Amino acid sequence: MRVLVVEDEPLLADAIAEWLRDEVHAVDVAYDGAAALERAGVNDYDVVVLDRDLPAVHGDEVCRELVGAGSAARVLMLTAAAEVTDRVTGLSLGADDYLTKPFAFPELAARVQALGRRSRPAAPPVLRRAGITLDPARREVFRDSRYVPLSRKEFAVLAELLRADGAVVSSEQLLEKAWDEHTDPFTGAVRLAVLKLRRKLGAPQVVETVTGVGYRIP
C-alpha cells in the first residue's frame, strides 16, 4: 500500500515510517499540514496516518480538506488527547480511525493494514494465481509448493500483480504502490525488480511483459 505519515515530531514520524516500510508498504512523510496536502494532491494514498496537532495547517483542516476533495485515502488520526469528545470530533471530520499517543507500533500497523483493505476492492486473504500462493499476513510466497524468498520490493510487486487478477499493471502503478516519492520515475527499479522476481519464481515464466504497457500474470 501507499501510506502518508503526517507527524511534526521528526523522530516519531521517521520511526512510524520505518515500521510501516518493514510491513512492506511504500511510505512518504510530511512534517506539517501544508506539506501533507501538497503530497496528497500529487499522490494517491491508500492510508494517511495523520497527527491532529500539526503546525502550518491543523490536522483537523487536513482531514476536512482530504474528505472534501473526495480522496479515497483512509485517515488514521493520531493525538495525545484521550477524551471521548476529542475522538468524536476527529471522527466527525471524516477520519476513519483514531489512535491516542502513546501507542504500540504493532497496533498502529494493524490498524493501517485494516484501513488499507477498506480503501481498495476486497481481495482474498491469500492470493493465488498461476501456481503462485502469496500470504500477505505471513509474508510468504510459494510456487507450486516451493517456498520463494523475496525482498520487500519483490513481494510488493508480486502482490500488486496478483491483485490485478490477470489485468495489466503499468510500471507507473507499481512505482506508486511499491516505492516512495523519492524514487525517480525514470529509474529501472521496476524492470530490475521484475527481472529478479522472474528469476526467483523460476520456470515456466509467469510474469508477462506487455510491451509499452506493463506487466501481468495471466
Please say whether the beta carbons of 131 and 148 come within 8 A.
Answer: no
The answer on 105 and 204 residing in a single domain is no
What is the structure's pLDDT at 213? 87
The answer on 17 and 69 residing in a single domain is yes
Residue 97: inside a domain: yes
Distance of alpha carbon 142 from alpha carbon 128, whole angstroms: 10
Instruction: Identify the domain containing residue 113 by its residue range.
Output: 2-117
Residue 136 identity (one-letter amino acid): P
Residue 44: inside a domain: yes
What is the structure's pLDDT at 131? 93
Q: What is the CATH number of the domain that holds 41?
A: 3.40.50.2300
What is the structure's pLDDT at 26? 86
Q: How many Å from the N-terminal Cα to the C-terminal Cα in the chain?
A: 22
What is the structure's pLDDT at 61? 92
Q: What is the CATH number of the domain that holds 192?
A: 1.10.10.10
The answer on 84 and 43 residing in a single domain is yes
Question: What are the Cα distances from residue 171, in Å, to 67, 68, 94, 211?
Answer: 28, 30, 32, 11
The answer on 164 and 135 residing in a single domain is yes
What is the structure's pLDDT at 187? 65
Domain count across the chain? 2
The answer on 132 and 190 residing in a single domain is yes
- For the chain (length 218 residues), average pLDDT per consecutive 10? 92 93 88 92 90 88 88 88 65 84 91 81 74 87 92 90 91 80 66 92 92 90
Three-class SS state of 171:
helix
Structure letter (DSSP) for residue 185: T
What is the structure's pLDDT at 153? 86
The answer on 190 and 149 residing in a single domain is yes
Distance of alpha carbon 19 from alpha carbon 36, whole angstroms: 19
Last residue within a domain, chosen from 90, 117, 144: 117
Residue 60: inside a domain: yes
Residue 187 identity (one-letter amino acid): T
Distance of alpha carbon 211 from alpha carbon 177, whole angstroms: 21
The answer on 144 and 208 residing in a single domain is yes
The answer on 60 and 11 residing in a single domain is yes
The answer on 74 and 102 residing in a single domain is yes
Last residue within a domain, chosen from 117, 149, 173: 117
